[in-house]
Amino acid sequence: MSLTTFSTERAGARVGRDTDLPTKVTAPSLLQKKLLRQPITAVTAYDYASARLVDEAGLDVVLVGDSLAMVMQGHENTLAVTMDEMLLYTRGVRRALRRALLVADMPFGSYQTDEREGVANAVRFVKEAGAEAVKLEGGRERKELVRRVVDAEIPVMGHLGLTPQSVHRMGGYKVQGKTMEAIDELRTDALALEDAGCFALVLEGVPRELARIVTEELTIPTIGIGAGPDCDGQILVLHDMMNMAFSNRAKFVRQYADVSGLMREALAEYRRDVEARTFPSDAESYHLSREMRELMGVQAEVVG
């Protein structure tokens, strides 16, 4: 176990001026950002520590994405993660957030087969894990489900374009919306999701030009990932941007830090120190009191 604890005092950890940050990001406040042309910042997180750092950095949205199946569990795609696993990860993230909006990904199989089950699972995310919104993939075929989840007082974020839960139908992770037919389909789907009540829409793996058209056509904000700079906001997988994904980066990923390199270096140094018996030092050790040492006939270690 670790005796290290997170400080309850968080005000000093913020990046930038606290007075510039709203006290809490909500689904309606994201719409306001679109109206004011203020970019929305979003990233994935899957555990307390990373989510807390994201929140303290002042980002707007934290998504507990089903991408955790790949970057946290080592699967080759997102399909294997279960509802119970998603709830577990979401609970940890919930405890870390104070400002950011918490959105939970509905995993594959939790809403595709039965709309009643889909609504019930969305309720579980809010009731059991503290999510403030859910995200689901698909277009017009999800319109009634979106309506029913919204009717249950749960905000819904849509997801179009390269939808990872459809990886087998798409034949892999490929850019979508490159033909006139596909463009028309995506535009129609986007408007249908907005009409159904989605408060925001993720556009993944689509041409920049198409993302700009959809962004201009919708009154709800678009959040892009591999969709160019003209969306109302951007989202990245945390492990991708920090070089912790153990895979080749997609074209749209910008690496902001080499966390894996830092961790390898630190762990190698730790191993060397342990093997050389330079860790722990006397200063990093606990000691008996002088009286107890005398009673037991134990000499204090001499620090060389």
- For the stretch 232-273, pLDDT in tens is 999 999 999 999 999 888 999 999 999 999 999 999 999 999
For residues 187-212, give the mean pLDDT: 98
In a domain, 2, yes or no: no
Same domain flag for 77 and 181: yes
In a domain, 156, yes or no: yes
What one-character-per-residue DSSP string does 200-219 give? EEEEES--HHHHHHHHHH-S
Same domain flag for 268 and 208: no
Same domain flag for 127 and 156: yes
In a domain, 304, yes or no: no
User: What gap in Å lies between CA 102 and CA 61, rounded to an integer?
Assistant: 6
Same domain flag for 54 and 75: yes
Same domain flag for 272 and 251: no
Same domain flag for 128 and 275: no
Residues annotated as catalytic (active site), given as ranges: 204
In a domain, 302, yes or no: no
pLDDT for 10 equals 53
In contact, 186 and 206? CB cutoff 8 Å:
yes
Same domain flag for 191 and 204: yes
The structure tokens listed for 299 are 């000499």
Number of domains the chain is built from: 2
pLDDT for 75 equals 97
Q: How does pLDDT run across 50-93, given as a tens digit for each residue?
A: 999 999 999 999 999 999 999 999 999 999 999 999 999 999 99
Same domain flag for 134 and 273: no
Same domain flag for 69 and 188: yes
In a domain, 201, yes or no: yes
In a domain, 207, yes or no: yes
Domain that holds residue 160: 11-257
Same domain flag for 103 and 19: yes
- Give the domain CATH number at 194: 3.20.20.60
Same domain flag for 155 and 284: no
Torsion region of 279: left, alpha or beta (phi above 0 gives left; psi -120 to 50 gives alpha): beta
Its pTM stands at 0.91
For residues 9-24, give the mean pLDDT: 54
